[in-house]
A = this chain, B = another copy of it.
Amino acid sequence: MEDDRYRARLINCLSGVKTACLIGTVDNEGATNLAVFSSLFHLGANPALMGLIFRPHVTPRHTLENFKETGFATINLLSSSYQENIHHTSARFSKDQSEFDRCGFTPEFLNEGVAPFVKEAQVKWSLSFVRQVDIPENGTHMVIGAVEDVFIPQNILKEDGFLDLAAIDPCLVTGLDCYHQVKSGTRYAYAKPDHKPQALS
């Protein structure tokens, strides 16, 4: 058992430092749910699709169940100052306890019929459920979502479409329990084979 935990920590760390995002959902009875995920990945820009990995659905997985039941989830990026609250959403709350309330976040319904956003999040968007892909090798599930409404502060959106995420001090995570901040970045010009990339000013 301790070996399993050692292995889980190590392999979870190996895939690198990620952004910790909060996924907001609601069930058909109106009970809201919030959970931290670090498995969000880009699938394509046109159409705008993202993927998420869910652990085996052998115990209740409220986020997955609600996402399928209502067809919507919200992805919320928060400042690292919320890292304690973010980690708290990983505790096993029962379905009648909303993580919004218990972990200090405010549900915000920006579009009727869609899942709750996190009011405290600076960058957030909704995903509509597209398809679930089961991974028989280990019982996990990949869910493909389509990007719907996007809410971002104007000052971090640059003229060419680049989003200066570092400016919102996003909460990053390594493995299951280590939270980090990112330093501001350096952009480079489109890379060409014959010379070293040029940093953009």
Question: B9 and A160: CB pair below 8 A?
Answer: yes
Question: B42 and A12: CB pair below 8 A?
Answer: yes
Give the contact-size bracket for chain A.
35 or more
Question: A172 and B9: CB pair below 8 A?
Answer: no
A31 within 8 A of B: no
A44 within 8 A of B: yes
A193 within 8 A of B: yes
Q: Which of B8, B125, B142, B185 contacts A179 (CB 8 A)?
A: B185
Question: A178 and B187: CB pair below 8 A?
Answer: yes
Q: How far is it, in angstroms, between the C-alpha of A178 and the C-alpha of B45 when the chains are bound?
A: 17
Question: Besides the contacts A41-B51, A180-B185, what 8 more A-B pairs have beta carbons closer than 8 Å?
Answer: A8-B161, A11-B147, A12-B45, A15-B41, A44-B140, A49-B135, A88-B196, A164-B178
30 contacts between A and B (CB under 8 A): A4-B46, A9-B161, A9-B162, A9-B163, A10-B157, A10-B163, A11-B46, A13-B165, A15-B41, A16-B19, A18-B19, A41-B51, A44-B135, A44-B138, A47-B138, A84-B188, A84-B199, A87-B197, A88-B197, A94-B193, A164-B178, A166-B180, A172-B182, A177-B188, A179-B187, A180-B183, A180-B184, A180-B186, A181-B182, A182-B182
